[in-house]
Structure formats: structure tokens, C-alpha cells
Amino acid sequence: MRIKKFGILSKFLARHFWASFALVFSTISGVIVLFSILNNSQSFASRVSGRVPMRIFLEFAAVDVFYALGTTIPLSVLLAGIITFWKLSRSSELTVIRGVGLSVWNFLAPIIMVCTFLGILNMAILNPIGAVLQRRIQRISYKYDISRANPLLFSQSGLWLKERSEFTQSFMHAEYIRKEGDVLNARNLTIFVTDLRSNFLRRIEADSAVLKNKSLELYDVRMIDPRLFEESFASYVYPTSLTVDRIEENSSAPETFSFWELPGFISFFEASGFSARRHRSHFYMLLFMPLMLCAMLLVATVFSIAPSRGRTNLLLKLSGGVLCGFAVFFVDQVVRAIGTSGRMPLLLSSISVPLIAVMLSSTLLLHKEDG
């Protein structure tokens, strides 16, 4: 009988937390959508002549919402935890739950399960959806020629690149690349050259190429014009503004890859001689998201679980919980940035702050509730 009552209580608490989380998350997402539409409408107005369909603005707004999930979900869990326990305390339901003989860990268990589920949901489903939307937005950005377009794309099929000059634009693809110092070696390079209206001008194929000092040297070259006339050259210097540093700095953003694609890309990128610390850091962030959400929940619990006397005392506690949660999130961002820069191990920088927050919050709860 007690197990059945505990199951009903777990559903009751989980439902309360879900409702608070949905309210906070939808509010934050609504603000992001509003600012995204306003910002993008200005960008399109300054760059695009003619009417842009509303669905384009909504797609950009959806990408911004998915892009911010790593921030909005932890902060929503923090605020939802504070709101949930504040409501339960105000209605004396928390007092009744304690009177049954359940400890804080008993009624925290279902909410921790919800947080774990949210972290896994973001990692396995929401992140891949966001990655697909990111790639779609990049294609739209190419079409409308706005600043979000990334001219460089790394994938397991090689390097893809778009370069634009005063009169022409080039689309390059290399099946194999390898960075060696300040030089980038490539094999099986194909370049499609068009005018600014995308009219085909020529196709260049090279068995190998070397990029150094804004100079792309091609070897064993075949050049084909629109009449299918072919010329061959032992070597050819193709004009470019590219540098190895620029390729590394503008490599595909981690957000354009899903959680499931990141391990393969990291292996490919590192095998090519580049650093994949940004992508590995993003992978660890997704992997340890459930731990971060549990840390946020425990921080909220420390400040909102105890009954408060007087509005001033309650306001101070709730404000302290919000500030402490934001501090944990900010410190986590700083430490992960240090790890990404190479000054500390990435795995340690990704897990240390949420783990310390969980341990400290658990210690405080044990002291207050069971001590």
C-alpha cells in the first residue's frame, strides 16, 4: 500500500515540476523567438530586396531556440525547481509530504528522473533536430546572401568550400586533407567556377594540391570549359584568399553536427591534423547535460525546500537560489572555455563544475534534512 501511495506521490511531484518547467521554458523560448524575428527582419531588410516569407523568419527563430538549448534547459530546470517547491510550501503540501515520513530524497527522486530524461531527450533527439535545422538555415543563408552562411564545411566526405571574388565564385571539394604546420595538403580536389549569377565557367580537377600563404598550388590538373573542351597542366596556381588558419577558425560549428555525428567528425578532423577541441567540448556538454540538470535542481532545492516565515525571508531565499544557480552555470561556461583553449583536460573541464555543485548541494541537504 505504501509503495502504491509513493507511486501516486511521485507522479504528482513530477507533474508539478513538468508544468513549472514547461511554463519557464516556453516563456524563455518565446522571448528568444521574438528577438530573433526582430533581428532577422532587420538583417533581411538591409540585404534582401523584396518580400521574404514569414516561414523563413520562423525557421531562423526555431534555429535560435534549438541553438540556445544548452543554456535555456539548465536555467529552466533551476527556475522550475524553485517555483515547484515554493508552490508546494505555500500550499502546505510539502509539510504534508514530510509528515508522511518521506525524506527529501524520496520526493526528489521522481524530479531527478525527469531531469535525467530531459538531458537524454536533448542529447538524443532535440540536438539532432537542431543540427538539421542549422544546416537548412545555412542553405537559406547562401540563397539570400546574409551573414550566417559559413563558407567552409567539413564532413566525413572531405572539405567543402565556397569562395567569392569580385567577378566569380568557386565551389571546392577535396576528398582528403592533411594539415602539416602552415601547409594544407589535399588530394582529389575539384573546383567549380561560376559567375555571380551561378553560370558555369569551368571545372578544375587536380590529383593533389597544396595550400600555403594564400596560394593554392594544383598538380596533375585537368580544366574543362562549358564546351567540354579539356586542357591538362602539370601544375597550376589557383588564386585564392584562403589560409590554413582561416580554414581552421571557420570550420563547421559544433552545433551543425548531431550528438551521433560528432564522434565520427572529431575522428576525421583530428586525423586531418586539425584541433577538434571545440567539437569535443560540445560533445561532452551534451553527454553530461543530465548531470548539469541534476546540479541545477539540487541548487534550487537547497534554497527553496525549507519552509520560510515571512515574505522577506522567502524572497531572500528564492533570490539566493536564482543567483547561486546562475553562478554555477556561469562558472561552468568559464571552465569549459578554459578546457577548450587547451589549458586543462577537456573531460575534467566538462564534468568538474556540475559534479562539485551536486556534491556541495547534496552535503547541504544532508546537513539540513538528515543532520
Query: What's the CA gap between 344 and 335, in Å, rounded?
Result: 9
Task: Give the model's pLDDT for residue 143.
Answer: 65
| pLDDT value of position 367 | 81
Could you tell me the residue ranges of all domains in the chain? 2-145+277-370, 152-249
CA distances in angstroms from 210 to 6, 12, 113, 172, 292, listed in the order given: 68, 64, 53, 14, 44
Query: Tell me, what's the pLDDT at 175?
Result: 86
Pick the CATH number of 152-249 from 3.10.20.340, 2.60.450.10, 3.40.640.10, 3.40.50.12280: 2.60.450.10
Please report how the helices 262-271 and 277-287 are oriented relative to each other, as an axis angle in degrees rounded to 10: 160
Sheet holding 183-195, edge to edge: 152-155, 158-164, 168-180, 183-195, 200-212, 215-224, 230-239
How far apart, in whole angstroms, are the C-alpha atoms of residue 62 and residue 59? 5
pLDDT of res. 46: 65
* Local structure of 211: helix, strand or coil: strand
Low-confidence ranges of the chain (pLDDT < 50): 1-5, 148-149
Q: What pTM, to 2 d.p., does this model score? A: 0.82
Question: What's the pLDDT score for residue 321?
Answer: 82
**Strand ranges inside the chain, DSSP E:** 152-155, 158-164, 168-180, 183-195, 200-212, 215-224, 230-239
Which of helix, strand or coil describes residue 218? strand
Q: What is the pLDDT of residue 1?
A: 41
* Cα–Cα separations (whole angstroms), residue 143 to 52, 56, 151, 161, 194: 12, 12, 12, 15, 15
Query: What b-and-e string marks burial along 311-322, b requiring 16 or more CB atoms within 10 Å of the CB?
Result: eeebeebbeebb
pLDDT computed for residue 3 by the predictor: 45
